[in-house]
């Protein structure tokens, strides 16, 4: 079914007469004008930021040309993951597709600089590139170069020009690990009549949960194209032992109680550091591993710890020496947090004391580590409720963070039991990767693409 069909041609896309009607073409036209205006106004600001300047040529479509050349045109599936969390989630999916389709059959794109760095580390730089800006000519350039047989999107990364390009080329679009967050749902609902034509272009949506499936149908995806596929993150197994983890384990105080605070955001580090002296007073052998979410904040967090006179060691300058009791080990690196949870007595998962939707509590749960989160966890509601349901996760307000940490550090047996329940619940949820891979391979083998 690949190839253009007869119909209206606009902006390099061919729209079937029985497909995208004039109203949809007008919507796309208005969207593109608006996007160009936003880019024109924002360009001076964005170009001053290194994270946006990096990969700019690839964001204009050249990245796909490099990858196609490196893979000698063998790629069949283009998988897109926005940032670090999505890259982690698709790791097993890419491995399984490599095994089923042959290595070199999958090309991977990301949007963020940190996501790109992790993707290149995990999958090899030759097949990883920056996702094109959603401008018609940049998108068309990328698809023309890469010539995939299918596009696989992780979670909810839906762009009108990308979907229109796939529709024009009759390429199936599969959304895996699909979710509609509490924050996104009202926007989709307000723009229902504008978004629905693009959502109708999706071939298959494998939702994380029954609630996510219901939401996709409610915002315009045809019901017969939506299934509950499960959460890919339940299939991701971070290595318990890495070189850094083993080196750090050997340098901790005897019987150390370790708090790993991961993916923290602005203001959360202050809460943790304010509570830390009292924690160390009740647990003298305590150590905190602190991993801010965004690399550009590493230096500010280090300065905050020094301001509070808390002993600090930084991953980037650590010489492998002893880690003192009561100190903070700042993980100012990318891609090492997941395995670091294997050291934890207790984990705090950030993005949850501030209204940012939270981050993934499954990363520590797989290591049988009890989890502490703030009240803002709507982006991971299903995972949080799963762990709360077996009493493996505690939700606290910021005023209770220090007290809860001290409580769990003082009752090691209770904390270990909580962690064991979380790991058991985690392992029972496996299987989403197989369902996603089976669906992708089946669509490819049907001969329709």
DSSP character at residue 399: G
- Rounded to whole angstroms, the Cα distance separating 334 from 208 reads 26
CA atoms within 13 A on the CB side of 236: 24
Which entry of 17, 58, 65, 86 is annotated as an active-site residue?
A: 86
3 state DSSP class of 237: coil
Which two structure tokens, joined as six digits, stand for 232? 């890919």
**E strand or H helix at 91:** helix 84-101
314 has catalytic annotation: no
3 state DSSP class of 56: helix
In this structure, are residues 403 and 378 in contact, taking their beta carbons and an 8 Å threshold? no
CA distances to 83, 172, 287, 339 from 334, rounded to whole Å, are: 12, 33, 20, 12
In this structure, are residues 258 and 345 in contact, taking their beta carbons and an 8 Å threshold? yes
In this structure, are residues 290 and 331 in contact, taking their beta carbons and an 8 Å threshold? yes
In this structure, are residues 404 and 394 in contact, taking their beta carbons and an 8 Å threshold? yes
Residues 6+ apart with CB under 8 A from 262: 291, 337, 340, 341, 347, 348, 349, 350, 359, 363, 364
- Rounded to whole angstroms, the Cα distance separating 430 from 235 reads 5
| Residues acting as catalytic residues | 86
């Amino acid at each position: 079914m690949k190839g253009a069909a007869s119909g209206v041609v606009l902006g390099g896309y061919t729209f079937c007469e029985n497909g995208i009607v004039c109203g949809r073409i007008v919507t796309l036209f208005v969207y593109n004008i608006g996007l160009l205006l936003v880019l024109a106004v924002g360009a001076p600001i964005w170009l001053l930021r290194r994270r946006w300047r990096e990969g700019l040529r690839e964001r204009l479509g050249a990245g796909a040309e490099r990858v196609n050349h490196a893979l000698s045109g063998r790629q069949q599936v283009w998988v897109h993951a926005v940032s670090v969390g999505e890259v982690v989630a698709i790791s097993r999916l890419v491995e399984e597709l490599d095994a089923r389709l042959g290595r070199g059959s999958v090309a991977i794109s990301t949007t963020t600089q940190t996501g790109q760095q992790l993707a290149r580390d995990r999958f090899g730089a030759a097949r990883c590139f920056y996702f094109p800006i959603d401008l018609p000519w940049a998108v068309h350039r990328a698809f023309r170069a890469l010539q995939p047989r299918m596009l696989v999107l992780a979670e909810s990364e839906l762009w009108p020009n990308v979907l229109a390009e796939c529709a024009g080329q009759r390429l199936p679009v599969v959304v895996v690990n699909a979710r509609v967050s509490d924050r996104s749902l009202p926007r989709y609902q307000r723009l229902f009549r504008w978004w629905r034509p693009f959502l109708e272009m999706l071939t298959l949506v494998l939702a994380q949960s029954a609630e996510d499936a219901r939401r996709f149908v409610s915002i315009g995806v045809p019901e017969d194209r939506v299934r509950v596929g499960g959460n890919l993150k339940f299939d991701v197994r971070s290595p318990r032992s890495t070189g850094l983890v083993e080196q750090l384990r050997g340098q901790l105080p005897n019987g150390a109680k370790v708090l790993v605070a991961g993916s923290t955001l602005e203001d959360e580090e202050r809460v943790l550091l304010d509570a830390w002296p009292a924690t160390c007073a009740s647990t003298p052998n305590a150590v905190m591993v602190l991993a801010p979410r965004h690399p550009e904040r590493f230096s500010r967090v280090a300065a905050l710890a020094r301001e509070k006179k808390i002993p600090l060691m930084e991953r980037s300058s650590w010489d492998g020496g002893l880690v003192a009791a009561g100190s903070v080990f700042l993980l100012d690196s990318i891609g090492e947090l997941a395995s670091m949870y294997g050291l934890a007595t207790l984990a705090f998962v950030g993005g949850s004391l501030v209204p940012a939707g939270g981050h993934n509590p499954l990363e520590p749960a797989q290591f049988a580590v009890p989890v502490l989160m703030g009240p803002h966890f709507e982006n991971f509601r299903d995972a949080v409720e799963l762990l709360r349901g077996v009493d493996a996760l505690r939700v606290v307000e910021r005023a209770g963070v220090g007290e809860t940490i001290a409580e769990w550090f003082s009752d090691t047996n209770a904390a270990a039991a909580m962690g064991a329940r979380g790991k058991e619940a985690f392992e029972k949820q496996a299987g989403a990767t197989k369902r996603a891979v089976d669906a992708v391979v089946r669509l490819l083998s049907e001969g329709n693409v």
